[in-house]
Each structure stands twice: as C-alpha cells, then as structure tokens.
Amino acid sequence: MTAVLEESSDTRLPPFSLRELADSLDTPPGVKVEVIEGAIVMSPTPSKKHGAVVRRLDRQLIPQLPEDRVAEQNYSIEALEGEDFASPDLLIVPVAVEEEDGWLVDPDDVDCVVEVVSPSNHTNDTKVKPSLYARWRIPVHLVIDPRDGTTRVYWDPQGGEYRAHHDTEFGDEVVLPEPLKDVRIDTSVFPRYGT
C-alpha cells in the first residue's frame, strides 16, 4: 500500500505552545514533564525512597496545616508570564484551589513548594528551581536531599532571589517560616539514598 500526500504550498506547522507540546508527549506512566526556562524537562519515575520522603512529609503536615490549607502532590505551578510550569513534589495551597478546573496553580496561591532531590536530576532541584520559585515569589521553598541527608529551607523572596535560607541535617527538626509559622518537620524519619 502506498500513501500519497497532497502537495501544499503552505509548509508551516500549525502554531503550538510548549505547554501543549509537553501535554501531548507520549511519555511512560510516572514520567514528569515540566517546562522550565523555555525547555521541556522530563524526569524519570521517582524511586521508592523518594516517594517515602514525600509520603512521610505529607503525613506530618496534615495535622499541622491551618484548616484552609492543604498539601497536594498532583498540581503544577504556572509561570507569572510565558509558558513555563513546574511540578513540585508537594505544594501547600488554599483548600479552595481543589474546586478549580484545570491543573495549573497560580504562584500567588502557593504558600510552600517542596522538592525532594533526585539523584539523576539534582541540578534542576538544587540550582534551577530555587531561582525559579523565588522569581515566582513563592514564600517558602523546602529542599529535601536524601543523597546526603540534608534539608534547606528558603524564604523571603525579593528581586528574584531568596534572601534567607537555613540548612539542617536529617535528624534535626525543621521549623517553617511565615506563612506556615511553627509548622514542624521531623526529618529523622526520612530515608537516605543508598542505605
């Protein structure tokens, strides 16, 4: 069988956005797709220990969050402008967001983003995303790194950078700043990679 294509004088592709392209990709289950600084970024399915950190953190947050806030794992945050979007491992937003259509959250609705560092994509988690979230004015950014058993809390985004951060090791208690003042995280329950 031979297929014949009709000739056309218009050789341009139809216009598309990076978000549309990212959404249309045929990716295996569990692969996360984001648009970061104008590039499509794909991350592999997280490891079991990565998932354990997120679950154990979520269980600690639930009883401590105000009634009008919720921790979510399935939302993406859209850029203030442009087509970028990021899908953190966990984010804290108003409960009212659950009633909205769509999958993108306005960064002004996000109190905190959490990234658990992946061994294969650590530069994205430790260098690129802190800058991105600061530019989007997200008040608190928590980075949990099971590679070396450390955490870093960023806060006070000003002029596209976080002006403050605090480092701890697994075993230390992390106390989140405003707008989640006094939310406490026991890091001793987080597993480390390779142990």
pLDDT in tens, 30-88: 667 666 777 677 777 788 999 999 999 999 999 999 999 999 998 999 988 878 889 99
Contact 187/171 with Cβ under 8 angstroms?
A: yes
Contact 101/122 with Cβ under 8 angstroms?
A: no
Using pLDDT thresholds of 50, 70 and 90, give the confidence band for residue 5.
very low
Look at residue 35 in the predicted model and tell me its pLDDT: 67
CA-CA distance, 173 to 185, in Å (whole number)?
Answer: 6
Of 105 and 125, the one with more pLDDT = 105
Of 1 and 190, the one with more pLDDT = 190
In sequence order, which residues have a C-beta less than 8 Å from that of residue 168 and are 6 or more positions away? 150, 151, 152, 153, 174, 187
Look at residue 131 in the predicted model and tell me its pLDDT: 93
Look at residue 1 in the predicted model and tell me its pLDDT: 38
Look at residue 74 in the predicted model and tell me its pLDDT: 85
Look at residue 19 in the predicted model and tell me its pLDDT: 66
Please state the φ and ψ torsions of residue 127, each to the nearest 5 degrees: -115, -50
- DSSP assignment of 21-84: HHHH--PPTT-EEEEETTEEEEEPPPPHHHHHHHHHHHHHHTTTS-TTEEEESS-EEE-SSSS-
Residue 11 pLDDT greater than 90, yes or no: no
Look at residue 68 in the predicted model and tell me its pLDDT: 96
Q: 28 vs 25, 33, 44, 122, 136, CA distance in Å? A: 9, 11, 9, 21, 29
Characterize the bridge pairing of strands 112-116 and 140-145: parallel
Of 120 and 183, the one with more pLDDT = 183
Q: What is the mean pLDDT of the chain?
A: 86
Please state the φ and ψ torsions of residue 27, each to the nearest 5 degrees: -100, 150
Q: How far is CA 140 from the centre of its chain?
A: 12
Look at residue 8 in the predicted model and tell me its pLDDT: 45
In sequence order, which residues have a C-beta less than 8 Å from that of residue 72 and are 6 or more positions away? 90, 91, 92, 93, 97, 98
Look at residue 125 in the predicted model and tell me its pLDDT: 84
Residue 29 pLDDT greater than 90, yes or no: no
Using pLDDT thresholds of 50, 70 and 90, give the confidence band for residue 126.
confident
Residue for token pair 């590039």: 39
Q: How far is CA 112 from the centre of its chain?
A: 10
Look at residue 16 in the predicted model and tell me its pLDDT: 64
- Three-state SS string across 5-39, please? CCCCCCCCCCCCCHHHHHHHCCCCCCCEEEEECCE
Contact 165/155 with Cβ under 8 angstroms?
A: yes
Average pLDDT over residues 145-152: 97
Average pLDDT over residues 9-26: 62
Look at residue 191 in the predicted model and tell me its pLDDT: 97
